[in-house]
Amino acid sequence: MLQGKTAIITGSTSGIGLGIAEAFARSGANIVLNGFGDAMQIEKIRADLAARTNARVVYSPADMSKPKAIEQMVRQTTDAFGAVDIMVNNAGIQHVAPIEEFPEEKWEAILAINLSSAFHATKLVLPNMRRKGWGRLINVASAHALVASPYKAGYVAAKHGVLGLTKVTALETAEDGITCNAICPGYVRTPLVEQQIDDQARAHGIPRDKVISDVLLQRQPNKRFVEVAELAALALFLCSDNGASVTGAALPMDGGWTAQ
């Protein structure tokens, strides 16, 4: 389905981003991975993905808080594959604290990585997408792009901003064969979340299943995690011909959280 297309997926050395990268690679796309981590481990992830899918896979170490690094990542992709056809803005960080205690440096970092990076990447890839008359922009937002939670001022503000950017991009590209959408997951079963479950179970002295049901999934009516494969399948649909009329949308995958 994506033969000959090239996709950048930021924050893709684990979790949601890696799941989307694998789905795209299995559909024939060239893949640019991005994220922080141990260099040897990242090379193993890159090589394993290429071997499993028979796709061309490269890695960019771009720091998504730095516009020049994002520009270099896009240039690297263009040099390697000729163009960026699909841009998935997935990189993100989190910090939890009351507003009056929220560190200013954390606020700035969250906005830079969760919101501004999507703007810079979008700005850089749009001209070529317009020339080709085809492009797909997918912003991995959150249920927190639609609703708020206490103590997450930076994250909620950034994700609401991502949704606004999504809508503006969709309107500006509506006649150009380009779509831009926001996927808004609830809690997703990733290695990071699994670690949070273990940490909270130890900290509060309660079983893992209680952490899951009474803490993490308290707001998700279906009481189960979103699976990475489900998000990857939605992203793949948005890149398909059948997704061509879906643009400017906030697409919740949250077990009913934002229906309340």
Phi, psi of 226 (to 5 degrees): -70, 135
Would you call 155 a catalytic residue per the annotation?
Answer: yes
Rounded mean pLDDT of the chain? 96
Domain spans, the chain: 6-188+227-259, 189-225
pLDDT given for residue 107 in this prediction: 98
> What's the pLDDT band for 126 if we cut at 50, 70, 90?
very high
pTM for the model stands at 0.96
Average pLDDT over residues 83-88: 98
The CA distance from 172 to 231, in Å, is 26
Catalytic entry in 59, 151, 155, 187 = 155
> What's the pLDDT band for 255 if we cut at 50, 70, 90?
very high
* pLDDT exceeds 80 at position 127: yes
CA distances from 29 to 3, 7, 164 (A): 5, 7, 28
Q: Within 10 A of 71 (CB to CB), how many other CB atoms are there? A: 15
pLDDT tens across 179-222, in order?
Answer: 999 999 999 988 878 888 888 888 889 999 999 998 889 999 99
Percentage with pLDDT > 70 across the chain = 100
pLDDT tens across 25-43, in order?
Answer: 999 999 999 999 999 999 9
Angle of CA points 176, 182, 183, to nearest 5°: 135
The CA distance from 154 to 77, in Å, is 30
DSSP state of 13: S
CATH fold, domain 6-188+227-259, is Rossmann fold (3.40.50)
Element (H, E) at 178: strand 178-185
